[in-house]
Amino acid sequence: MKRVIPRIGLVYFIVASLLVLFSCSTSKKATIPDVDASLTANAPDYQQIKKDINKKDSEFYYPELLRRFQEADTTLSLEQLRHFYYGTATRPEYNPYQFDLSKALNEALEQKDLQQAKSIIDKQLAKDPTNLKFYMQKMMVNIDLYGRESEEANDAFFQVYMLLSAILSSGDGKTKKSAIYVINIADEYALMYRFGVTPTSQSLVRENGQSYDRMELTSNEKGLKVLYFNVTIMEESLKKLF
């Protein structure tokens, strides 16, 4: 039996528009349970996460987390979701700069070929299991293909929700100290899209051994002038390629 994952901090504001889509259709009723404050605004410890996800007897064993996430198992705890998302960046196959299928997907969507779009999305997520942008696209395509009340649309919605919960537990992005940790550039833009903000410029800032994408924003309802994303793990991955 699946349960609805909790709303935490900024997650509520970002997924509010998503919740509207399902407020009258989903069989999973929204709840607002308490959340352990120690798991919010908390930078990921990649070294510890790497150890945890490789232990077969651990609740964080990566293959099991991957299986459960792909099944849209919303009984996954926030800490398990953090291990899944950030643990992906510690896997040997992790490459945030790999070619993705965005162009092919856009062409399929422009041609209104939803079956082809679904096939492209499934292919991308098979090799890139935490790509927030493609899960958002998956949700919208599944709504069009199967209907808003379908299990397929409902599961994709909760996969988006779970990824947002994991990412936004790392920080609010208002300062470098509280930067949002991401493992893929596409996730930055997917998050800004759900924030309802548009970047006017992007700059890479390095400080105290950490790397940040600094996004200056256009005027917006939330009064945000800038967002910081910690991209250190991506910088380290790029160095390994050379």
pTM of the model: 0.84
Q: b/e map of 146-164 (b: 16 or more CB within 10 Å)?
A: beeeeebbbbbbbbbbbbb
Q: What is the per-residue pLDDT for 26? A: 44
Helix (H, G, I), strand (E, B) or coil at 127: helix
- Report the pLDDT averaged over residues 227-238: 92
Site of tokens 């960046």: 89
Phi, psi of 231 (to 5 degrees): -120, 25
Q: Under 8 Å CB-to-CB from 4, ≥6 apart: which residues?
A: 28, 29, 30, 31, 74, 158
Neighbours of 168 (CB within 10 A): 24
Q: What is the per-residue pLDDT for 98? A: 82
Residue 100: which pLDDT band, with cuts at 50, 70 and 90? confident
CB 53 within 8 A of CB 60: yes
Joined tokens for residue 119: 């096939």
Q: Under 8 Å CB-to-CB from 127, ≥6 apart: which residues?
A: 93
CB 188 within 8 A of CB 213: yes
Q: What is the per-residue pLDDT for 241? A: 66
CB 11 within 8 A of CB 164: yes
- Report the pLDDT averaged over residues 13-26: 43
- Report the pLDDT averaged over residues 205-222: 92
Domain boundaries, the chain: 11-98+129-168, 180-240
179 closest CA partner among 227, 240, 118:
227
Residue 123: which pLDDT band, with cuts at 50, 70 and 90? very high
How big is the CA angle at 5 (ends 100 and 39), to the nearest 5 degrees? Answer: 85
Write the DSSP assignment of 18-87 as a string of letters.
HHHHHTTT-SS--------GGGSS----HHHHHHHHT-TTSTT-HHHHHHHHHTT-TT--HHHHHHHHHH
Burial of 122 (0-12, 13-18, 19+ CB in 10 A): exposed
